Amino acid sequence: MNTATQHINIYQPHILNSFPYRGGSTREEHKTICYKMSSNENMLGASPMALEAIRENLHRIHEYSFEHDRLFCQTLANHFHNALSPDQFITGNGGMELLDIIVRGFVQPGNEVIISTPTFMAYNSFAVLGGARVIDVPLQGAMYDLDVEGILGAITDQTRLIFISNPNNPTGTIIPQKRIDKLMEKLPDHVVVVYDEVYHDYVEAKDYPRALDYIQQYKNVIGLHSFSKAYGLAGMRIAYAFSMHPIALYLQKIKRPFMINALSMVAAMAALKDRDFLEKTKAMNKAGKQFFYEQFKRLQISYTPTEANFILITQPHDMSAAAFVQAMAGKEIMVRDAEVMRAPGKVRVTIGTEEANRYLIGLL
């Protein structure tokens, strides 16, 4: 009998016992979905300049990445006003691929990584696949504060990575500058902070600390940005990490040749120039956020104030969050049960177009 159990020795136990990370669900899983408010995509669509760039370059896809990654990294450096050089960027097919590369770069079986739940659980999944022991130092209180003392206390000589999502998915909260400063001050040299800023475009708070600042102070920090959110390119799978030279050059060794889809690169470079679309996106989000705050207050639905393009609510009816999400799907709207991100009883709602936001409130 040719079963997995018979040939168990060929398998690595930490991979065999892991659960694949599947991400959120897609429209195909629900027959009639009108509004998808479950994956924090941009409900305005994609940047028109990115779409135009894709159309203009379609005739070139028979060649390996005709657009060179070097040009993309130069464009990213320009976007950062040359605060970083092109070789400080590592591009990838979405932030998730970069998280995987980072784990492969820094984690060996038996090492430890620290996460703070509720948070983006891809951190957990990729770390487990890398053979790491995942230590959870949960966020604290109603505003989900980072337990800096707890994290520092949990660091051992086996700790390699600390994952921080700022703004945090699924809570939408930010960790203010003072808290991150405190962590960075005491960060031992053998630990790297993965500082995930994929929702940074939406932040309005003044005391929001940036990965770039810590990288410029030569801290062991890897910043992560994605084109999946504010730029509306989730399906293109394109993102980048950035860090100080030794870390960036080290991670580049893991990249495969022609790893980045050429159309994704032209789309991303065009999207960076599309200031108009970014401003429209931010304005839509700001208006949607205010609308939701007012309506949730009126309906007495408790919510967590957000700095991102989604909002975490306590599900309002006498049913489980899973049943609520299912019931909403029956009404042609997808929202996300946050239990998988360790926020039981909560539902995460993407802030969308005025029409979608009103439809959701109508149902509630």
Ligand X SMILES: Cc1ncc(COP(=O)(O)O)c(C=O)c1O
Binding site for ligand X (CB under 6 A): 40, 94-96, 120, 165, 169, 196, 198, 226, 228, 234, 239
- 149 or 260: CB nearest ligand X: 260
- 165 or 281: CB nearest ligand X: 165
User: Shortest gap between Cβ of 228 and ligand X (angstroms)?
Assistant: 3
Please name every residue paired with 310 in a beta bridge, in sequence order, or none if there are none: 350
- 282 or 331: CB nearest ligand X: 282
- 120 or 277: CB nearest ligand X: 120
Question: Token digits for 356?
Answer: 């979608």
Q: Which of 234, 190, 240, 192 is nearest to 215 (CA)?
A: 192
Q: Where are the alpha helices (DSSP H) in 107-227?
A: 122-129, 148-154, 177-185, 211-216
**Residue 319's Cα: distance from chain center in Å?**
29
- 224 or 321: CB nearest ligand X: 224
Burial group, residue 63, by CB count within 10 angstroms (0-12, 13-18, 19+): exposed
User: Shortest gap between Cβ of 48 and ligand X (angstroms)?
Assistant: 20
User: Shortest gap between Cβ of 124 and ligand X (angstroms)?
Assistant: 12
Contact by Cβ (8 Å): 265, 239: no
Question: Token digits for 4?
Answer: 């997995």
User: Shortest gap between Cβ of 136 and ligand X (angstroms)?
Assistant: 16
In a 3-state reduction of DSSP, which class is residue 144? coil
DSSP-assigned letter for residue 255:
P
User: Shortest gap between Cβ of 248 and ligand X (angstroms)?
Assistant: 18
Task: Compute the distance between CA of residue 36 and CA of residue 26 in angstroms, rounded to an integer.
Answer: 9
- 123 or 359: CB nearest ligand X: 123
User: Shortest gap between Cβ of 238 and ligand X (angstroms)?
Assistant: 7
Give me the half-sphere count of Cα atoms (radius 13 Å) on the Cβ side of residue 329: 18
To which H or E segment does residue 76 belong?
helix 69-79
User: Shortest gap between Cβ of 316 and ligand X (angstroms)?
Assistant: 24
- 75 or 264: CB nearest ligand X: 264
Q: Is the peptide bond before 118 cis (omega within 30 degrees of 0)?
A: yes
Please name the residue that has the structure tokens 């990445």. 65
User: Shortest gap between Cβ of 62 and ligand X (angstroms)?
Assistant: 27
DSSP string of 179-242? HHHHHHHT--TT-EEEEE-TTGGG---TT---HHHHHHTT-SEEEEEESSSTT--GGG--EEEE
Please name every residue paired with 165 in a beta bridge, in sequence order, or none if there are none: 196
- 41 or 274: CB nearest ligand X: 41
